Amino acid sequence: MKKNMGNTDRIIRVVVAVAIGVLYYANILTGTLGIVLLVLAGVFLLTSVVGFCPLYTPFGISTCEVKKE
């Protein structure tokens, strides 16, 4: 897997995932919507740790910085 996520993208995903987690455990997000968003937060955390987003590949998107040589 080639990394296709830059640092800014990864930080934003982690912040959104933590916010969703806090809202879920504070019982602000409940029910089916809360569970779906909690799963989405887990996916955000996983893709942030790995640095690869499978949805970026078919569209040719990459937020990684290009290294200048």
For CA atoms 9, 14, 20, 23, give the dihedral sign: negative
What's the pTM?
A: 0.84
Residue spans per domain, the chain = 7-59
Q: Which amino acid is at 4?
A: N
pLDDT in tens, 13-51: 999 999 999 999 999 999 999 999 999 999 999 999 998
| pLDDT value for 12 | 95
Between 25 and 3, the more confident residue is 25
pLDDT of the residue at 69: 63
Indicate whether 52 pLDDT > 80.
Answer: yes
How far CA 6 is from CA of 13, 22, 26, 54, 66, in Å, comes to 11, 25, 31, 14, 10
pLDDT at 32: 95
Main-chain dihedrals φ then ψ at residue 5, nearest 5 degrees: -125, 130
Gap between the Cα atoms of 48 and 4, Å rounded: 10
